[in-house]
Structure 1
Amino acid sequence: METSGGGAADAYLRKDEEPDGFYDPEHLPPLLEDEENVSLADLLSLRDSCLCEEEVWAVCAECVLALQSIRPSHLFYTLCITPDTLAFNAHGNVSFMEPLSGESVA
């Protein structure tokens, strides 16, 4: 189930730009052509550090937008959000993936 955010993360990051107008996020490799989404767990495994405060707030803002878009569906009430089920598409929008089989959701 893919949901679309509105770029709230971009707006949040622009708000806290450095005085010279430059924000230098840690660059990660781009998605491969056959990859539609990459999970937060996969992103964190590629980094040498945890998310900074601004990145955490940006993820939260995008999650709110995504959750608002699925609120009318039954998925909203059964969703289990973990680093493995929280994913990003090639545009940086949040999507929620089904838990892998054998993965506990309790």
Structure 2
Amino acid sequence: MRVVSIGLVFAVLGLSAASTPSFASGCRQLLESDVKIASMRLYADMLANAARRGWNYAPEWIVSGSKRHFDELKLRLIDDGYEIVPVGRPLQCDIEG
């Protein structure tokens, strides 16, 4: 499950180890804003699938679920060795490269 989730994040972000110079050089940093966008897209897909099945959620459940999805995604990425860099702080890979 974790491999699929991380793979989906990279697909949404448009990243791959072969095509991204920072990953090719061993950099494992991601901007928090990029992770947030990926999380929102994945969560929206989940909600769309649920709606197709006739499931409806209260707006406050959607908001709390979105936050929880983002937090869990960040933790999975960190657990897999990635550093989530806050907005405004430059990626070290960009500075060194």
Would you call these one fold, judging by a TM-score over 0.5? no
Structure richer in helix, relative to its length: 2
